[in-house]
């Protein structure tokens, strides 16, 4: 249009025919030579068909038509660039696609018109930030997933050359990966059921209605609860010893955090049994055996942590706390400073009131702790107007202080939980294929 209407030409003028995605335009050599470093400008300097095809997608020598498989809508802005020397943003076009288009046509960012330059750089910064965050998350998740999957494969490969390699490998996979087969799922369900039964029995044992006494009026355990307790502990012991026997590396097995938890949930039972046997003997040096037994019985609570072996959420929570130590430390520091400050304030405004219970600094610490964490038991509370004002400020500051690091901790937990799900999804076909391979080999 520019060449035909605004600038009438003679038959001797040189033109080229450009076809961009079906949109055809006849362009003058003089207009294109204004920007010789662009793609169309470089096209005029080509002397062979091979050189031409390096710059365009197709070429018809008879009609001198050059075909480009690009966005025809954007080419209208390219034409305007050759006529005015300025390029404008395309409305509705992604800024990343816009950059790709101008790079293809050989147009520099400095040719952006001033009306679009600020918007362009703002959109580019926003796109780079989002791309960086997404790429960092994917690399972290993928890297960790590959690392953990490679550990699983390395464990399986460690069986090569050891005694009863095939049998131990098959048992190990079924104990470690519930998704491997139906039998592995059954083992996982039985193990989880034993944990739940043990926890329920421990809770019922604490209820006075289920307590019994012997002929000496001494409290003893309920026989039924004791039976289930012993049965669960025997199952845990057998499972632990079996996994230790078939593990590819006993040292690595004993250093695993989940296996340490399993051992800590089992050992108190045997220590308690030994202490009971010693207490039954008339040994005057064992006066505190009863207290030791109570402490060991309390350690049975570690069995609850055995649920982490069957729960992706609990494993993700442990990884979150391990990798969010900085945020947790900041939370404890903020709360400690706030509790110290408000406990002193509430003490000085309440200690002269006879009706107030906040008469000492330790009580003030307790009140400030339950107030800043928004628990509010109501056992201690300020009664003076100044104390109520301090209490209101304490609660508001507690909301702000607790909310600051919680967001980062929650985001970390979400990443680890998604990563754990990805690991389980990737581990299922890999372990299954390993099992098929080992079966075919055997």
Give 80-99 as a DSSP string. HHHHHS-B-PPTTS-HHHHH
The residue ranges of every structural domain in the chain are 2-112, 167-310, 325-433
- pLDDT of 298 reads 60
How does DSSP classify residue 3? I
167-310 topology per CATH: 1.20.120
Dihedral (CA of 221, 226, 229, 230) sign: positive
Q: Is residue 294 over pLDDT 80?
A: no
Q: Is residue 197 over pLDDT 80?
A: yes
Tell which CATH architecture fits domain 2-112: 2-Layer Sandwich (3.30)
Whether the pTM exceeds 0.75: the reply is no
Give phi and psi for 84, each to the nearest 5.
-110, -20
The per-residue pLDDT for range 311-347, each reduced to its tens digit, is 666 666 666 777 777 777 888 888 888 888 988 898 8
Measured between its terminal Cα atoms, the distance across the chain in Å is 77
The per-residue pLDDT for range 236-292, each reduced to its tens digit, is 888 888 888 888 777 888 887 778 877 877 887 787 777 767 665 555 444 555 555
Helix, strand, coil percentages in the chain from 3-state DSSP, rounded to 5: 70, 5, 25
The per-residue pLDDT for range 71-101, each reduced to its tens digit, is 888 888 888 888 888 888 888 788 888 888 8
DSSP β-ladder status, 15-20 and 23-28: antiparallel
325-433 topology per CATH: Helix Hairpins (1.10.287)
67 touches 59 (CB < 8 A): yes
Distance separating alpha carbons of residues 59 and 65, to the nearest angstrom: 6
């Amino acid at each position: 249009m520019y060449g035909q209407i605004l600038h009438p030409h003679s038959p001797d003028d040189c033109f080229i025919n450009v076809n961009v995605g079906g949109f055809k335009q006849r362009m003058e050599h003089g207009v294109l030579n204004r920007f010789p470093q662009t793609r169309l400008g470089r096209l005029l300097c080509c002397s062979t068909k091979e050189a031409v095809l390096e710059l365009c997608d197709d070429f018809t020598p008879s009609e001198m038509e050059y075909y480009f498989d690009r966005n025809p809508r954007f080419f209208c802005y390219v034409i305007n660039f050759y006529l005015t020397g300025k390029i404008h943003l395309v409305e509705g076009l992604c800024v990343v696609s816009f950059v790709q288009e101008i790079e293809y046509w050989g147009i520099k960012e400095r040719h952006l018109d001033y009306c679009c330059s600020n918007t362009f750089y703002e959109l580019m910064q926003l796109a780079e930030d989002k791309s960086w965050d997404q790429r960092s998350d994917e690399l972290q998740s993928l890297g960790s997933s590959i690392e953990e999957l490679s550990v699983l494969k390395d464990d399986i490969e460690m069986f090569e050359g050891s005694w009863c390699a095939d049998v131990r490998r098959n048992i190990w996979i079924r104990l470690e990966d519930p998704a491997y087969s139906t039998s592995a799922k059954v083992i996982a369900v039985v193990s989880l059921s034993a944990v739940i039964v043990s926890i329920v029995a421990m809770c019922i044992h604490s209820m006075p209605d289920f307590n019994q006494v012997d002929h000496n009026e001494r409290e003893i355990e309920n026989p039924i609860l004791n039976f289930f307790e012993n049965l669960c502990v025997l199952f845990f012991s057998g499972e632990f010893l079996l996994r230790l026997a078939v593990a590819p590396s006993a040292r690595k097995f004993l250093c695993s955090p989940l296996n340490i938890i399993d051992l800590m949930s089992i050992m108190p039972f045997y220590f308690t049994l030994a202490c009971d046997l010693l207490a039954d003997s008339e040994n005057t040096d064992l006066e505190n055996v009863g207290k030791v037994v109570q402490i060991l019985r309390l350690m049975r609570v570690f069995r609850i942590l055995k649920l982490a072996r069957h729960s992706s959420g609990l494993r993700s929570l442990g990884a979150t706390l391990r990798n969010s130590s900085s945020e947790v430390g900041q939370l404890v520091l903020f709360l400690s400073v706030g509790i110290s400050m408000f406990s002193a304030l509430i003490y000085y405004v309440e200690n002269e009131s006879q009706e107030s219970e906040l008469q000492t600094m330790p009580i003030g610490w307790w009140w400030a702790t339950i107030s800043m964490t928004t628990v509010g038991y109501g056992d201690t509370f300020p009664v003076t107007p100044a104390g109520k004002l301090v209490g209101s400020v304490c609660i508001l500051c507690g909301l702000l202080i607790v909310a600051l690091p919680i967001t980062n901790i929650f985001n970390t937990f979400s990443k680890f939980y998604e990563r754990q799900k990805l690991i389980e999804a990737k581990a299922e076909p890999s372990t299954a294929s390993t099992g098929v391979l080992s079966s075919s080999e055997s």
